Amino acid sequence: MPYKFLSAEWLQALKDKLNTDPQYARVAKNWEGDIMFHVEPESPAGAPIRLYLDLWHGTCRDAYVVEDDEQIAHRKPAFILRARYPVFQSIIASKLDPMQAMITRKLKVHGSMAYMLRNVPVVLDFVRCAQEIETEYPEG
């Protein structure tokens, strides 16, 4: 069953994948840092989508769609990755390399870019897991 990209169900499927994938557990065993994906809408009238993931030593301890600022007020994610919807879609659809997107600032990183660069295998394996979720992209 395909999941609508960036929906709560898609995010839960990603959390489940991260927590059951032995390769991700091995590659990310030293990763420490939560991430918020800030997906900017295509139209000025649209609302951003924010996804929060608490990633810790090869597991995803929590994952949810941020509905309002109060949900995230008590947290300061180690990383905020910000881009327009088509950039995130291109990464998950294997049309854009995530590291290239970061380096060219199509995907803006708020947090330690040096940490990301030291952990390229973790970033790439996280993306691999996301790419393995059966995903349906709504028409924009």
Per-domain residue ranges of the chain = 3-136
Query: 3-136 — its CATH code?
Result: 3.30.1050.10
**DSSP track, 60-113:** EEEEEE--SHHHHHT---SEEEEEEHHHHHHHHTTSS-HHHHHHTTSSEEES-H
The encoded tokens of residue 62 equal: 């929590």
The list of the chain residues with pLDDT below 70 reads 71-73, 139-140
What is the radius of gyration, based on Cα positions, of the chain? Answer: 14
pLDDT at 72: 67
